């Protein structure tokens, strides 16, 4: 028998921490979208996409 547990946490950051969290998430989103765009362009040119090992 498998029992799954989960925890819920609520954060209450101050304004400075909230700004830093938003900047961090924004940077991560930018990097993800940048490399996703590279992968889409390469797929359109070559007809196949790179693997994780390339």
Taking the domains of the chain in order of start, what are their residue ranges? 14-49
Give the tens place of pLDDT for each residue, 32-54.
Answer: 999 999 999 999 998 887 777 77
How confident is residue 9, by pLDDT bands cut at 50, 70 and 90?
Answer: very high
Residue 29 confidence class, pLDDT cut points 50, 70, 90? very high
* Total-model pTM: 0.67
* Local structure of 5: helix, strand or coil: coil
């Amino acid at each position: 028998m498998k029992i799954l547990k989960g925890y819920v946490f609520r954060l209450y950051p101050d304004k400075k921490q909230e700004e830093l969290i938003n900047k961090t998430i924004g940077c991560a989103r930018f990097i993800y979208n940048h490399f996703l765009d590279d992968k889409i362009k390469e797929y359109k040119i070559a007809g196949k996409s790179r693997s994780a090992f390339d």
